Structure 1
Amino acid sequence: MSGPYFDPEYENLSIRINPPRVSVDNASCSDSTLVKVDSMNKPGILLEVVQILTDLDLIITKAYISSDGGWFMDVFHVTDQNGKKVTDSKTTEHIEKALGPKGQAADWIKSWPGKRVGLHPAGDHTAVELIGRDRPGLLSEIFAVLADLHFNISAAEVWTHKTRIACVLYVNDDTTYRAVDDHSRLSLMEEQLKNVLGGEDDDQVAHTSFSMGFTHVDRRLHQMMFADRDYEGVGATEVEYPPPLKPKIFVGRCEEKGYSVVTVKCKDRPKLMFDIVCTLTDMQYVVFHATIGSDGPYASQEYYVRHMDGCTLNMEGEKDRVIKCLEAAIQRRVCEGLSLELCAKDRVGLLSEVTRVLRENGLSVMRAGVSTVGEKAKNVFYVRDSSGNPVDMKTIEALRKEIGRTMMLNVKKSPANAKVPHEARGWAKTSFFFGSLLEKFLP
C-alpha cells in the first residue's frame, strides 16, 4: 500500500486564508516611503518581493527582514530614482497590486503598458541566450549576424565580467515581427552564432539548449554566469579593483540561533540587494533575517542564512565559495566609465550599425540594455576603451558627429574603472525559447 494521501491544495490553504497584506506608508518616515509586507512564508518569497520593487525602479535604502516560523514580515524603505518619496498614486497602487494576493499581478502588468517588468514589455518573440568569451567587437558581430539573417532585435540585455559575456536577446522576424519557430532558420542562426562566439582558439565545443520557460532576465544572467563559473576567473588574471569598489564580504556564525551570518559592505548602487538575494537563493540558501542599510555612498547588508537542507556554512571551502560568488554578483553590474544613452526610431539593423560605429571608434561594450517601445528604440551602452584606458573625449565627440545625425545621444561620466584583464579562453553556448513574454511571466 502507498503512504497516506495529502491533497496538494492543502499546502496553499493557509495562503488563501491569509493572503499577503501590503501597505505603502508615506507618513512614518521623512525621507523615504515604507513598504510593509506580511505574508505566509514560502520558498523564494524574499527574492520575489525584492524583484518586484526593483522592477518598479525603486531604490531600497533600508530593509528589515524576518521570516522565522511560518510567517514572513518585511519593511522596506524605498525612494524613486531621484531619492524622493514615492508619492505617485499610480505607482503606489501598482506596488500594492504586485505584492498583494496572487492573481493581481496579471492585472498590474496589463494596466501598465510599456513598463519594464523583468526586462521589457510583452511581445511575440524568440528569446536567445548566449554566453562565451568576450573580446572587442564581439557584440557588433552578434548583432550583424542577426541582421543578416533577417532577425529584428526588440530587446536585449548584455553583461560582461572577467572576460566572459552573457546575453539575453529577444528577437523576431524582421518582416512579420512574430516569433520564429522555423528550425532551419534557428539552426542556421545557432551555427553562425557559435562561430562568432567560439572562434578557432576555444578548446571546447559550443553547446546549444532549447527552453520553453521564462525567468526574470537579470536573474537569468546571474544564473548563466554562475553556471559559467565566472566567479573563479578561469584562465583570467584577477581584476584589481580600487578599494572603494572591492566588496568586503565576511561569513560568520550566530551560535545562539544556529545561523550563518553573511555580511556585505561595498559601494552602494541600485539593485544591489536584488543581486545579493538572487545569488543566495540560487545557491540554495534561505534568508531568515536580514538588515539592510547605507551610510553615505556605502552599503552594509547582513543576512542570517541556512542552506535549504538546514545546515550552516561550516566548511572553509564553502565559505570561500559563497564569498567569491557574492563578489562576482556585485561586480557584474558595476560599470565605471562612460554610459551612452541613445534614442532613435526603431529599424532593422539599428543595433548592428550602432555597435559597428562603437567598435570602429575603439570602444568596447561592458554592459548594454536595449528596449523598444512602439516605434522608439532606447539603448544604453556602458563602454570603455578597447585597450583598457579611459575613453578619450575626442572619441566621444567623433561619435556624436557620426551617430548624432540619426539619433539622440546622451553621455554620462562615472569614476574611472579598474584595468580590465586580458581575454580568457573558455566555451560558448547558445539557447533559445519561444512564445509570448507575457504568457511566460504570468503565474
Structure 2
Amino acid sequence: MGSWAYFDPEYETLSIRINPPQVSVDNSSCKDCTLVKVDSMNKPGILLEVVQILTDLDLIITKAYISSDGGWFMDVFHVTDQQGEKISDRRTIEYIEKALGPKGQTLGVSKNSREKVGINSTIDYTAIELIGRDRPGLLSEISAVLANLHINVIAAEVWTHNRRIACVLYVNNDTMNPATDDPSRLSAIEEQLKNILGGCGDNVAHTSFAMAPTHVDRRLHQLLFSDRDYEGTFSATEPGCPIKPKVTIERCEEKDYSVVTVACKDRSKLMFDIVCTLTDLQYVVFHASISSDGPYASQEYYIRHMDGCTLDSEEEKSKVIKCIEAAIRRRVSEGLSLELCAKDRVGLLSEVTRILRENGLSVTRAGITTVGEQSTHVFYVSDASGRAVDSKIIEELRKEIGHRMRLSVKKDPTATATDAKAAAADGGGGWAKTSFFFGSLLEKFRN
C-alpha cells in the first residue's frame, strides 16, 4: 500500500506569516483626502477584498493606483467620507488597519455580508434569493406573500436592470423567533414565490435559499449576470436613463495585457462594481489607475484571463464591455429616493410597497435594514413610465403614512462626493446619503 506525503495545513499561509501585509492610513500627505496604502503578498481576489472593505465603510475612492505584477500587491487609495472629507474617526481608521492587516487575512470577503445589510450578528436568519422578469408591483406581491406566511423581512437588497429583478431577502419567523429553517415551511415559501415569479411569463425565474453568507452586492451582480441581463439593448434616450458609460478594450503589446478603459459619471462603489465584474469573469487585474474629475470618473485596468491569455477575439471583448456596462448601470437610480423609518413588524414591507404601488410608483432599487426594533426602508422610485415623480404624489404619501412612520424624500441618489460637498456647503441641499450601518461592523471589531 502506498502512502501520501504529509502536508502541513499551515503551509498555505506561510508566505503571509513571513511577510505580513503592511497597511498605512495617512492623513498628512494630502490636504483633500486620506491615503490608504496596502502592501501585501499577492493572492487571487485580493484587489476585490480590499476594495470591498473600503466601500462597505461607505468611503469614496477618488483615486487609486494598483500594481500586483509578480508576487507582491501594492495599492494606494485616495479616499474620503460621504461628505468629501478626510477620514477623521479613529474607529474607522482602526477598523481599516485591522481588516486589511495581518489579522484581517483570516476574514473572508463574505464575512461582512450580514454587517453590510445591517443585520445584527446575533439574529438568526434565512437568506432568500430571487431572480426573474420585473413588472410593476412585483416587489409588493413578493412581500405580501411573505407577510401572509408570517415571515418577517429584517433586511433586503433589491436591484432591477433591463426589465429583470434580483433580490436577496433576509427573513425570520418574526422579530423574536429564530430563522425559518423548517423544510416544509421553506417548501411552502418557495412554491408561492415561484408562482409569483412564474406569473411574469418567464421560464428562467428562480428562487433559492442561501444558508452560507455571501456579500450581498456581489451576489446581486452574480444573479443578474447569470440571468444574462447584460444582453439587453440600451437606449440613453429613454426617460430617466443615465448616460451610457464608455468602455473600450485595447491591447498593450509591450507587456501583453488587455487594457480596459472606463469613462462614466462618478458615483459611490463604482470601482467595486467594475472589479467585482472582472473578478467574476475570471480576469486578473495586474495594474490599474483610477481617478475622478468632478462628476466624472476615468478608470483603466491592465488585465489577463486567469489562464494568462489576453482578450483577443471580438466576441470576448464585446462580452466584457457589455458586462461592465451592465454592472455600472445596475446600481444607478436617477430620480427620488424615499427613506421610511418605523418600528419593525411582520408585514411592514408589504404595507409600504402596497402604498407605493397604489400611488403609481415603481421601485427601481431598494434596501431594507433592521437595527434593534427600528426598521429603515430606502426605495428608489419613478412613476410607471419611468419619469420623475410628481410632487403631488409625494404629498399624498406624506398624508397617508406620515402619522405611522417617518418619511424622508431625497433627490439624486447617485450624487458623487463632489456633489455632496457642494450640497453640504449649500445647507444640505437634499443629496441622498448612502446607507451605512457602522454599528454592526464595530460590534465585530469590539469583540
Same-fold call, TM cutoff 0.5: yes
Looking at structure 2, the residues matched to 216 and 66 of structure 1 have their Cα atoms a distance apart, in angstroms, of: 25
Does the 8 Å contact 1:162/1:239 carry over to 2? Answer: no
Deviations 1:110-147 (A, max 9, x none): 9x9x9943654322101000001101110011111101
Does the 8 Å contact 2:270/2:328 carry over to 1? Answer: yes
Q: Secondary structure at the match of 1:102?
A: helix
Looking at structure 2, the residues matched to 265 and 3 of structure 1 have their Cα atoms a distance apart, in angstroms, of: 53
Against the structure 1 CA distance between its residues 92 and 200, is the aligned structure 2 distance closer, same or farther, given a 3 Å change threshold? closer
Q: Partner of 2:408 in structure 1? A: 410
Q: Partner of 2:51 in structure 1? A: 50
AA aligned to 1:57 is D
Does the 8 Å contact 1:98/1:105 carry over to 2? Answer: no
Q: Partner of 2:230 in structure 1? A: 231
RMSD over equivalenced CA pairs, Å: 2.6
Looking at structure 2, the residues matched to 119 and 301 of structure 1 have their Cα atoms a distance apart, in angstroms, of: 30
AA aligned to 1:144 is A
Looking at structure 1, the residues matched to 114 and 28 of structure 2 have their Cα atoms a distance apart, in angstroms, of: 27
Does the 8 Å contact 2:159/2:165 carry over to 1? Answer: yes
The question of 1:298 aligning with 2:296 is answered yes
Higher relative contact order (CA 8 A, sep 6+): 1
AA aligned to 1:165 is I
AA aligned to 2:156 is A
Identical counterparts, % of pairs = 74
Q: Secondary structure at the match of 1:273?
A: helix
Q: Secondary structure at the match of 1:81?
A: coil
Q: Secondary structure at the match of 1:214?
A: coil
Q: Partner of 2:417 in structure 1? A: none
Deviations 1:59-96 (A, max 9, x none): 00000000011100000000000000001111111110
Q: Partner of 1:219 in structure 2? A: 218
Looking at structure 2, the residues matched to 271 and 163 of structure 1 have their Cα atoms a distance apart, in angstroms, of: 22
Instruction: Tell me by how many angstroms 1:213 deviates.
Output: 1.9
Does the 8 Å contact 1:231/1:324 carry over to 2? Answer: yes
Instruction: Tell me by how many angstroms 1:201 deviates.
Output: 2.8
Deviations 1:336-369 (A, max 9, x none): 0110011111122111100000000000100000
Looking at structure 2, the residues matched to 105 and 402 of structure 1 have their Cα atoms a distance apart, in angstroms, of: 49
Against the structure 1 CA distance between its residues 70 and 2, is the aligned structure 2 distance closer, same or farther, given a 3 Å change threshold? farther
The question of 1:360 aligning with 2:358 is answered yes
Q: Partner of 1:334 in structure 2? A: 332
Q: 2:253 aligns with which of 252, 255, 258?
A: 255
Does the 8 Å contact 1:119/1:216 carry over to 2? Answer: no
Q: 2:399 aligns with which of 392, 398, 401?
A: 401
Q: Partner of 2:144 in structure 1? A: 144
Instruction: Tell me by how many angstroms 1:387 deviates.
Output: 2.1
Against the structure 1 CA distance between its residues 207 and 385, is the aligned structure 2 distance closer, same or farther, given a 3 Å change threshold? closer
Does the 8 Å contact 2:133/2:164 carry over to 1? Answer: yes
Against the structure 1 CA distance between its residues 335 and 196, is the aligned structure 2 distance closer, same or farther, given a 3 Å change threshold? same
Q: Partner of 2:97 in structure 1? A: 96
Does the 8 Å contact 1:137/1:359 carry over to 2? Answer: yes
Q: Partner of 1:39 in structure 2? A: 40
Instruction: Tell me by how many angstroms 1:8 deviates.
Output: 4.5
Looking at structure 2, the residues matched to 408 and 283 of structure 1 have their Cα atoms a distance apart, in angstroms, of: 42
Structure 2 counterparts to residues 365-376 of structure 1, below 5 A:
365-376=363-374
Looking at structure 2, the residues matched to 195 and 105 of structure 1 have their Cα atoms a distance apart, in angstroms, of: 41
Instruction: Tell me by how many angstroms 1:412 deviates.
Output: 1.2
AA aligned to 1:101 is P
- The number of aligned residues is 412
Looking at structure 2, the residues matched to 392 and 343 of structure 1 have their Cα atoms a distance apart, in angstroms, of: 22
Specify every segment of 5 or more residues in structure 2 that has no aligned partner in the other structure, as ranges: 415-439
Deviations 1:159-210 (A, max 9, x none): 00000000000000126421011111111111110111111633x2654545
Instruction: Tell me by how many angstroms 1:18 deviates.
Output: 1.2
Q: 1:264 aligns with which of 262, 265, 268?
A: 262
Does the 8 Å contact 1:167/1:221 carry over to 2? Answer: yes
Q: Secondary structure at the match of 1:124?
A: coil
Further displaced range: 4-13 or 369-378: 4-13
Against the structure 1 CA distance between its residues 175 and 275, is the aligned structure 2 distance closer, same or farther, given a 3 Å change threshold? closer
Looking at structure 1, the residues matched to 90 and 105 of structure 2 have their Cα atoms a distance apart, in angstroms, of: 17
Q: Secondary structure at the match of 2:393?
A: helix
Against the structure 1 CA distance between its residues 207 and 349, is the aligned structure 2 distance closer, same or farther, given a 3 Å change threshold? closer
